Amino acid sequence: MSPNLRIAFRFLTAKKRAMFMSLSCTVLGVGLFIVTQATTSGFERFFTKTILGINGAVRIEDKIQDTMRSMAAAGASDSYFAQREGVKYIEGVEEALLIAEAVREFANVRGVSAVVRGNVQITSALKTEDAQIFGIKIEDHVRVSDLAEQITRGKLDDFRDSPSGALLGRVLADRLQLVVGDSFVLTSRGQSRRVHVAAIYETGYREVDKSNIYLQIGEARSLLRRPAGATFLQVSLFDPSRAPQDAAKMEQVLGHGAKPWQEREKTWLAVFRALRVSTMITVSVFTLIASLAMFNTLAMIVLEKTKDIAILRSMGYERRDITQIFLWQAGIVLAIGAMAGALLGAGVTWLVGQVPLPINGIFKTDRFIVTWDPNHYLAAIATAVVMVMVASLIPARRAARLEPGDIVRGTAQ
């Protein structure tokens, strides 16, 4: 053990209670930081998984008008095209098959599914509700969603095998009091069709579960009178975090609007981020207190040990050694605090993960969701180290600046 570390250990015990205060706050700061990060990012990741499982990573939608050329042709501004954010669009994906082929060429793409969407009214024996139908090819769609895992009643095979089968969201089915096998009527622009419940799914995202009805794409086409093309293509990616880059490239190459999930869900993602940052700030208060306590304790120890500092300096200990002795004290408390805090964090994270907490709304869970991410531990410890060390630097440097001559004469300040 270096002489300075040895001295630091002994000085620490001079102010046990004050040091314990700083230590406890470090433990709490590190521990709670970890817990809050584990839970907030737990929910965020679960939400992400849910919405990726419903809507995929990228949605390719309306065709982009070649603005420059059409403007040049028209010779003036034209207001015939739908205009969003300065770009003009033509609704839908006419060349769905071709575009899907092109999308599959992207290295990161896992699956593509063409979807025909339309508004309908759904009528059961009990009542009528507004809903949306999604015409899909089930083989394609299970590759771009978690639909297969979201079936709670009935079988996906029944949907596949029967052209008049429909997949109903759990909330919608409950409202209309429909169970697997029941038949109901879908109406769109005066045209009606009788279909039956092949299976019931539940995503946990209430907006989806109360309105989305899946039909085979052929059925949807004839009900909506749309013989060709698709409303959008749903794309899943191997690495969803790269969706913005992939979407930008797709938009460029395909000439269709492509929206990554990060943009689609930006409201919710912003909510989660705000939650994560605000809990981080709240919890950092503990670390702040830890650093203030450390500042205070070290300042007290410096005052109490000025004579010892003079003795050390007279024996050949340099200013650097004195700084080190005081920084080591902070370092020792930090090391113990970080370890205990990490253990506390892990323990509480585990406990919180056991807490029953039924949530249904933007995702479905019956327990608190936590993530285990070493980065949370690193971030928690790094925050504590930076704050406590910065606070310790001031008394440590003050101690080093003391002149031995002033100390022994009693005129040191």
Ligand X SMILES: Nc1ncnc2c1ncn2[C@@H]1O[C@H](COP(=O)(O)OP(=O)(O)OP(=O)(O)O)[C@@H](O)[C@H]1O
Which among 260, 264, 127, 154 has a CA at the least distance from the CA of 214?
A: 154
Q: Where are the alpha helices (DSSP H) in 56-95?
A: 67-74
Question: Which x/- pattern over 146-185 shows residues binding ligand X (rule: CB under 6 A)?
Answer: ----------------------------------------
Q: Specify which residues 111 forms β-bridges with.
A: 236
Give least dist CB 408 to ligand X, A.
Answer: 9
Nearer to ligand X, 181 or 405 (CB): 405
Q: Using CA of residue 149, residue 155, residue 156, residue 159, what is the dihedral sign?
A: negative
Nearer to ligand X, 77 or 411 (CB): 411
User: Is 409 one of the binding residues for ligand X (CB under 6 A)?
Assistant: yes
Q: Are 8 and 325 in contact (CB under 8 A)?
A: yes
Q: Are 38 and 346 in contact (CB under 8 A)?
A: no
Q: Are 32 and 345 in contact (CB under 8 A)?
A: yes
Give least dist CB 406 to ligand X, A.
Answer: 8
Distance CA 345, CA 29 (A): 9
Q: Residue 403's binding partner, choosing from ligand X, other proteins, none, with beta-carbon cut-off 5 to 8 A by kind? A: other proteins
Question: Which x/- pattern over 350-389 shows residues binding ligand X (rule: CB under 6 A)?
Answer: ----------------------------------------
The 3-state DSSP class for residue 193 equals: strand
Burial class (CB in 10 A: 0-12, 13-18, 19+), 161: exposed
> Residue numbers of the site for other proteins (CB under 8 A)?
3, 6-7, 10-11, 13-14, 307-308, 310-319, 321, 403-405, 408-409, 411
Nearer to ligand X, 267 or 411 (CB): 411
Give least dist CB 290 to other proteins, A.
Answer: 24
Give least dist CB 336 to other proteins, A.
Answer: 19
Nearer to other proteins, 119 or 314 (CB): 314
Q: Where are the alpha helices (DSSP H) in 201-265?
A: 206-209, 217-224, 243-254, 261-264
Give the C-alpha distances (Å, rounded to integers) separating 359 from 44, 69, 405: 13, 51, 69
Which among 323, 335, 345 has a CA at the least distance from the CA of 392?
A: 323
Give least dist CB 347 to other proteins, A.
Answer: 34
User: ∠ at Cα 83 (78, 86), nearest 5°?
Assistant: 95
User: Of 13, 267, 354, 411, which one interacts with ligand X (CB under 6 A)?
Assistant: 411
- Where in 8-47 is the site for ligand X (CB under 6 A)? none
Nearer to other proteins, 354 or 411 (CB): 411
Q: Residue 196's binding partner, choosing from ligand X, other proteins, none, with beta-carbon cut-off 5 to 8 A by kind? A: none
Q: What share of the chain is helix, strand, coil (3-state, %, to 5)?
A: 60, 25, 20
Q: Are 116 and 135 in contact (CB under 8 A)?
A: yes
Give least dist CB 399 to other proteins, A.
Answer: 14
Which residue number has the CB closest to ligand X?
411
Nearer to other proteins, 155 or 409 (CB): 409
Nearer to ligand X, 13 or 411 (CB): 411
Give least dist CB 409 to ligand X, A.
Answer: 5
Give least dist CB 413 to other proteins, A.
Answer: 12
- Which residues lie near ligand X (CB under 6 A)? 409, 411
